[in-house]
Amino acid sequence: MHDDFGRLLARVEHLRDGVLSPQDARAWPREWLASLEALGIVEAAGFADEIVLDGGDHECAAPNQGFEKHPDDPDRLICVHRCMNGCGRVILEPRDFEQWRFSLLGLAEAVRCAIGASGKVVEDAPGRIVLIGTASVVGQVGDVFLGFGLARPDAAGVAASATRLVASDGPALLSVGVKPGDIWSVGKRPMTAVLAEHARLGTEGLDLDLAKVFPASGLVEVKPDAWITVTAAAELLLADVSGIDLNKAKARVSKAAGERRFRTNGKEGRDRRIDRDSFSTWRLAQRERDNDAWERRHS
């Protein structure tokens, strides 16, 4: 089961439009795909327009010409293909044309549940990088991300555009099925691991132990300075809260500092410095509030 799931994750990295064709689906038992669908990792994507049959010494393309009732069993739908290459008359069923679409957000939610991450799954770079949530990694609580297509030519640009990943302090990133290329900016190299090499599909969902994944399989970012300026803190907040500019973010940070929502050096104005770790805890709470507000506006 572990090998099958790992093979699937490696395979989806190369799917056209993220769709598992009927030919792809034949590699796995139907009940196994059904369990993936129940977890939200794949979604039903209708029927293929055509499938390829294995005719032994040749391949035969069978078009989807629609389904009709079987003459001897009205409860059974069939599609009749008449092969001109020696296969003869082939009776096919709807399930032979079924296809599934891979869901990065669905996989992220399954991983979130497996590792017990707090927070909600949030898309960072559409279709490519997702914030799973916060969890304990290497003894510290931090952001965990899921990345897809990180060996593609555009991966460096995608990583740079993922504002939450860029702003995160010492993030951990799970790449779906491939080892990421050299795509990270200087000083912004997260711990990385390939999910396909570690995740297992159990009877009740995914099994994944972050303590076994990191740090052996990861690349650790150089630890940032423990104290940051108000401006630096505001820039981090901007990546997590919508509808504000830098000045408003600085005002919010200064107000929270005055209310002792996180540790500071006790000084005011330009001399004020903020403890990065305690600020990160407060910032994550602001992100959750912003996410909740967005959901209320769009529900």
Residue carrying structure tokens 């929502």:
261
> 143 φ, ψ to 5°?
-80, 140
Residue 3 to residue 247: CA distance in whole angstroms: 51
The order of strands in the sheet holding 42-47 is 19-20, 98-102, 42-47
pLDDT per residue of the chain (299 residues) written in tens, 0 to 9: 446 788 888 888 888 778 887 777 777 777 888 888 899 999 888 787 777 776 555 667 777 777 778 888 877 877 777 776 666 677 677 777 788 889 999 999 999 999 999 989 999 999 999 999 999 887 778 899 999 999 888 898 999 999 999 888 889 999 999 888 778 875 568 889 999 989 988 878 889 988 888 854 444 443 445 688 999 888 888 877 777 888 888 999 999 998 888 888 888 888 888 988 778 778 877 877 877 776 676 66
Sequence letter at residue 277:
D
Sequence letter at residue 87:
C
- The three-state secondary structure class of 117 is coil
Residue 282 to residue 262: CA distance in whole angstroms: 7
What is this structure's pTM? 0.64
| Contact (CB, 8 A) for 237 and 252 | yes
Contacts of 80 (CB under 8 A, 6+ apart): 65, 68, 89, 90, 91, 92
